């Protein structure tokens, strides 16, 4: 059984929502690094702590989006395999 279009779009929306959440968290940390630096940050003068916050924010965005993709993909595949397994069991029961 193939995954239908409605399911595909539901999963795409779920992935988009997860991605937006991770983007806000990561961008929040990056924005916090600029906020903590004040006006100096606008001219490229960053402290080590600010640079670390920026890197952590970027890592959260990257890995959060990647993990969200694999989570949604895994859930989709698992539900499709489960549906196929149930369908096969029911067809075997009817055959016997």
pLDDT per residue rounded down to tens, the chain (96 residues): 578 899 899 999 999 999 999 999 999 999 998 888 877 766 777 888 889 999 999 999 999 999 999 999 999 999 888 888 888 777 777 776
What SS3 state is found at 94? Answer: helix
pTM for the whole structure? 0.78
CA dist 40 to 29, 35, 45, 79, 86, Å?
17, 10, 5, 52, 62
Query: 33, exposed or middle or buried, with CB in 10 Å at 0-12, 13-18, 19+?
Result: buried
């Amino acid at each position: 059984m193939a995954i239908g279009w409605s399911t595909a779009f539901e999963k795409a929306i779920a992935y988009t929502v997860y991605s937006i959440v991770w983007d806000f968290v990561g961008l929040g940390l990056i924005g916090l690094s600029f906020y903590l630096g004040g006006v100096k940050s606008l001219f490229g003068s960053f402290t080590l702590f600010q640079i670390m916050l920026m890197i952590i924010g970027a890592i959260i965005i990257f890995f959060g989006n990647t993990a969200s993709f694999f989570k949604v993909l895994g859930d989709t595949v698992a539900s499709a395999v489960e549906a196929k397994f149930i369908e096969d069991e029911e067809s075997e029961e009817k055959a016997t």
